Amino acid sequence: MQTIEPAATESLDTAADVLLGAERIVVVSHVNPDADAIGSTLGLVQGLRILGKQVVAALSDPIPDYARFLTGADDIASELPSEDVDLIVSADAADIERIGRLYEENRDRFESTPILNIDHHRTNPMFGTVNHVDPRASSTSELMFRVLTALGAPMDPGTATALLFGIFGDTGSFQNGATTPGALITAAHLVELGADNQRVSFQLFECKRFAGARLWGRIVSTIELDAERHSVFGYLSQEMLRAEGAKVDETEGVAEYLRGVQEGTVVVLMKETPEGEMRISMRSRPEVDVSAIATALGGGGHRQAAGCTIPGPYQAAKDVIIETYDRLNPR
């Protein structure tokens, strides 16, 4: 597999040509898939199928319940196809390791198969045979709209809804720093194509089971304010999940909600895994770059929304976050 230097990112037309030249394609994305990973994957898969391509979506982790309304969501595979494919498309993965188990268990296939890397993370190391990476884009779903447009692929309402789902997710419904003119223009085109913006908004930002709403209350009851660093810390334990009969996916949106605390410019939400690690979700106001903290701890993301996984328990993980914050933001 050819690896292109980090400065080399191919044009939209090059990405489109690679897709046109392949017949059997698998589309993968990152672990713990978020709205943009799911939307960009499903949008591309459906658009390519309309063009007559043989396309499979495969993810290392299951998608959350709030995304299961999307067309094609139930067809996402948990393994790569057994037969050879002409092309692997990586959607929204900031690094090839972020693909997770599918990559770890099939390194030889990734090394022997051409990879088209489509992403918008500025930290992407250009790991594909061909790379179409644009950090100026709001989301990978916005890039997928451009790719499908360049291919001349007709977009039905299901495809448009998946892409809008991804854009809504990464822009926080056009409320965070990822909201660009391109995001708004693309969203307008998708609504014209039949995207169900009300369903997307409800599923992403409003829909909760009663158990999930109670879980939000438990998390909010744990919050602490670090006034010196203008940071809000919150915690989700496995015991809370068991007590409410809820799922970790039902905490989606809590970190964004806590970003509204006036005294805090940074939110750190720590979610305990069954193995005792801490999955960290960080959100910030524009003046703080939380992606630098996440990257220093082996994760990644965007300036105002990033994450990583570090050893627990809670207090030890909190100490690591504080030490890293202080090191990167000396006073």
- CATH 3.10.310.30 in the chain is located at 210-328
For the chain, give the mean pLDDT.
93
Length of the chain: 331
**DSSP of 15-42, one letter per residue?**
HHHHHHT-SEEEEE--SS--HHHHHHHH
Average pLDDT over residues 76-86: 96
Can you give the pTM of this predicted structure?
Answer: 0.85
Do residues 278 and 271 lie in contact, with contact meaning Cβ atoms separated by under 8 Å?
A: yes
pLDDT tens by residue, 89-121: 999 999 999 999 999 999 999 999 999 999 999
Superfamily of domain 12-204: inorganic pyrophosphatase (n-terminal core) (3.90.1640.10)
pLDDT at 324 exceeding the cut of 60:
yes
What was the pLDDT predicted at 197? 97
Which residues make Cβ contacts (< 8 Å) with residue 84, sequence separation at least 6? 24, 113
Q: Where does 210-328 sit in CATH, by number?
A: 3.10.310.30
| Residue for token pair 């993965």 | 93
CA 233 to chain CA centroid, Å, is: 22
Give the chain's end-to-end CA distance (angstroms, integer). 45
Average pLDDT over residues 281-297: 93
Distances (CA, A) of 32 to 58, 219, 233, 307: 13, 20, 21, 11
Please, which pLDDT band fits residue 3 given cuts at 50, 70 and 90?
A: very low
pLDDT tens by residue, 137-166: 999 999 999 999 999 999 999 999 999 999
Please, which pLDDT band fits residue 176 given cuts at 50, 70 and 90?
A: confident
Do residues 191 and 63 lie in contact, with contact meaning Cβ atoms separated by under 8 Å?
A: no
Q: What percent of the chain has pLDDT over 90?
A: 89
Which residues of the chain form beta strands (DSSP E)?
A: 24-28, 54-58, 87-91, 115-119, 130-133, 224-226, 231-236, 266-272, 277-284, 300-302, 305-311
Please, which pLDDT band fits residue 7 given cuts at 50, 70 and 90?
A: very low
Q: How far apart are CA 172 and CA 65, in angstroms?
A: 18
